Amino acid sequence: SWEPFQAFLRSGEWVDGKVAGVLNFGAFVTITLPDGKLAQGLCHVSQLQEGFCDNPNDVVEVGQAVKVRITSIDEDRNKMSLSMVEFGSGGGGGGSRPFPARADLSPFEDVGPDEWLDGKISSTPSFGAFVMVKVPGTEEMVEGLVHITQIKEG
């Protein structure tokens, strides 16, 4: 019965889990409820960490203990979706949770289109580069995408 797991889906509580397998689209995690019931679910690549994850093996490994939230249960297909990301923090996109609040971009309003910002590339997926930049006037760092169409060779 999925009922004990449904209670955790409704509450949003963190559940202890252990990574059972890692594939290019995410990680299978075996979760254990406080009453000892076990079930396996998928933590999609977009739900492994905040921000973009290019390779799940860089984030988790088989046998690793993790904390997850149950985000959906499909009893008909006998599938459960999991997340290792705080609700509303953004994740890497996708998932079955509500969209996060929009980021406050107002500190960047005075940055002109011809002005360059120093940044550090955090990952380079096939569609561009994710770059960490400092929020103007603060020490806070944020990550943004430079789309491949905006990158020139040389």
- Mean pLDDT over 28-33 rounds to 91
The CA distances from residue 109 to 104, 140, 146, in Å, are 10, 16, 17
- Quickly state the pLDDT bin for 52 (edges 50, 70, 90): confident
Asked whether residue 106 carries a pLDDT value surpassing 90, the answer given is no
Ramachandran assignment for 26, one of left (phi > 0), alpha (psi -120 to 50 degrees), beta (any other): left
pLDDT of residue 103: 63
Whole-angstrom Cα distance, residue 117 to residue 112? 10
Indicate the pTM of the whole model: 0.57
Is residue 22 within 8 A of residue 63, CB to CB? The reply is no
